[in-house]
Amino acid sequence: MSIEVISLLFIGILLFIAKTLEEGFRRIGLVPFVGSIVTGIIMGEGGLGIVHVNSIISFITSLGIVFLLFLAGAEEFEVKTKIDKKFFLSAILQLSFPFSIIALGLYALGGFNDILLISVPLAMSSAGPLTRLLIDVGMSKRLQGNYLFYQVIIDEIMAVIMFAILQDTAHIITSMVEVIVIVIAIILIGRYISMGLEKLESVFKVREIEFATLISAILVIGFLADTYRFNSAIAALFLGFLLRDYLSDRPELREKLHAFTYGFFEPLFFVSIGLYFVKITPDILIIGLLVSSIAMSSKILIGGITSRLVNLNLTFNALGTAVKGGVDTSLLITALSAGYINGEEYSEAVLAITFSTLIIPLLFKRINVRCEKRVEDNRKVKLSQSVSDLAKDLVYVTCENSLKDAVFILTEKKVRGAVVVDQELKPIGYISMNTVIAIDPNLYDRLNVCDVYLDEVETVDEGSKVSSVLKKFRETEKPLIAVVDKDGKLTNVLYEREIMRLLING
C-alpha cells in the first residue's frame, strides 16, 4: 500500500481518537489538547507503534499551530496602543532566568548533546495554549488577559529568534540579519495582503476566492519565515494581527477558519507531538519529571517576581506566563528533524512540557474561575453577606496606561469608571467616562491616565457587608467602590448596578 493511501487511513483514525480523548479530558477537568498528545504517544512509536510518521503526516500536522496562532492574532487579543517597555523587560527576565536554570540543570543531569539549543523551548512560554486557556476562563478580551498575552508572545518571539541563532552559531550575524529581515517583511507585506483581498472581492466572483487567497497568504508567509530561520507559527500570528480589521468585518470568513483550524489542523498538530516519541522507559520518565520540575519552578518563580513590574496579580502572572505546549514543541520537532537532538532527548523534553501542560492550566483555572460559574455563584448574593464573597473582576488602570487603554477597558466592560492604582496596586483615584468624553480623542494616544483629572475613589475593606456598600453608593453617588485588603491593595471593584442585578437574580 502506498504512503499516500496509508496516510489517509492514519490521519482519519488519529483525528477521531484525538477528538474523543479531548472530550474525555475535558469532562474530567483536564486540558483537552493533552488528549491529542496522549493519542500520538499511544498510537506512535512510544506506545503501540501502529502509526509511523512520514512526510505527509508531518506536513499536515505541522499546520495546526500555524492556523491556531493566526486566529489568536486576528481575534482573541487587542493591541490598542503601543506595548509598554515594562512588558519587554518582564519577557526578557521570564526567558533568560529559566533558560539559565534549565541549562544548568541539564548539564548536571548529563546525557544531553546540545544543552543550549534544547533549553530554549523548555524555558519559553507558549501563546497558543495561553490563548485557549484565557478563552476558557473568560479573560482573553480583558486588559489583564492582554497584559499576560503581551509578555508571553514577546517571550515566545525572543525564544524563536534565539533558537534560530543557536542552530547555526558559526554564522550568528547572518542568522540575526535573516530573522530581522523576515519580521520587517511580514509587517510591510501584511497591509498589502489586506488591500489585495478587498480588491479580489470586487473583481473575482469565483466561490470561496477570499478564503482560498487568505489560506494561500498564510502558507506563503510561513514558507518565507521557515526559509529564513524564523518560525512559521509566529509569522502567522503577526499576519493575524495585521489582518484583524479585515476579518472583523467578515464573520462568515472567520467561521470557516474556525472549523478549518479547531476541527482538523489543531488536534492533528498536538497528535504529532506524541507521534515523535521513542519507547518510554523508566529513565526517560524520571528525567522528564525532573526537567519538568526545574522548568515549572523557574517559570513560576520569575513570573511571580515580574508580576509587580506589570501590575498583575502574583498568582495570575506566575501561572499564566508558565503555560507551555505550542511553538515550544514545534521547535523540538525541528531540532529532532535536523539532527540536533536525538529521540530520547526529544521524548524527555516533550514529557517535561506535557507534565507542565497538565499541571499549570489546572492550577490557573482553579484560581481564575470561569466567567459562567462566577455569574451562577453571584445569583446567591444577599445583603447580609460579605463583599469578599463576591466574584472578583478587577477593572483598573495605572498611571502608565494611555487614555486609549482606559477608553478600551471602559467600553469593553460597559462601566462608568475604572480604578487607578499605583505600582503596589493601591487605589489612588478613578477615571470616569465623563472625564474621557470631555477630552479630544486625538489626544488619547498622547496622554496617560494620570495626566488628566482623577476622581476620589471610595474604598471598603473585604469584611464589609453588601448592605453597607449599597448605602455608601447612595451617600456618595460614585459609580464604583474599590475593595482593598488589610495592606490597602485592590482586591475587587464593585458597581452598584451590578450588585443590584445580582440581588434581583438571587
Tell whether 166 is covered by a domain: yes
pLDDT at residue number 378? 45
Kindly indicate the confidence band of residue 372, based on its pLDDT and cuts at 50, 70 and 90. Answer: very low
Residue 322 CA, chain-centre distance (Å), reads: 10
Tell whether 23 is covered by a domain: no
Please tell me the least confidently modeled range out of 233-247, 266-280, 361-375: 361-375
SS3 151: helix
- If you average pLDDT over residues 330-342, what whole number do you get? 83
Residue 471's CATH number = 3.10.580.10
pLDDT (tens digit, 9 = 90+) per residue, 407-458?
Answer: 888 887 788 899 999 888 899 999 998 898 889 888 888 888 999 989 999 9
The answer to whether 426 and 489 are in contact (CB under 8 A) is: yes
- How many C-beta neighbours within 10 Å does residue 239 have? 28
Residue 4 CA, chain-centre distance (Å), reads: 35
DSSP of 206-242, one letter per residue?
STTHHHHHHHHHHHHHHHHHHHTTS-HHHHHHHHHHH
In a shared domain, residues 135 and 158: yes
Is the pLDDT confidence value at 379 over 50?
Answer: no
pLDDT at residue number 376? 46
| Residue 476, burial from CB neighbour count under 10 angstroms (0-12, 13-18, 19+) | exposed
Residue 307's CATH number = 1.20.1530.20
User: b/e string for 73-89 if b means 16 or more Cβ within 10 A?
Assistant: bbbbbbeeeeebebbee
SS3 29: coil
Tell whether 208 is covered by a domain: yes
In a shared domain, residues 303 and 382: no
In a shared domain, residues 443 and 397: yes
Tell whether 73 is covered by a domain: no
Domain with 244 in it: 78-264+280-367
In a shared domain, residues 402 and 470: yes
Kindly indicate the confidence band of residue 120, based on its pLDDT and cuts at 50, 70 and 90. Answer: very high
Mean pLDDT of the chain: 83
Q: For the chain, what's the residue count?
A: 506
In a shared domain, residues 359 and 387: no
* CA-derived radius of gyration, the chain: 24
CA distances from 361 to 39, 40, 129, 180, 197 (A): 19, 21, 9, 33, 38
In a shared domain, residues 431 and 321: no
SS3 386: strand
First to last CA, the chain: 64
Instruction: Please give the residue that has the higher pLDDT: either 178 or 32.
Output: 32
pLDDT at residue number 207? 65
In a shared domain, residues 103 and 244: yes
- In 323-433, beta strands by DSSP E: 396-398, 417-421, 427-432
In a shared domain, residues 322 and 380: no
pLDDT (tens digit, 9 = 90+) per residue, 250-299?
Answer: 778 888 888 888 888 888 888 888 888 888 889 999 999 999 999 999 99
In a shared domain, residues 155 and 303: yes
In a shared domain, residues 83 and 137: yes
Tell whether 37 is covered by a domain: no
Q: Name, in order, each residue with C-beta under 8 angstroms of 211's C-beta and a sequence gap of 6 or more.
A: 253, 256, 257
Give the cell for residue 473: 453608593
pLDDT (tens digit, 9 = 90+) per residue, 391-405?
Answer: 666 678 888 888 888
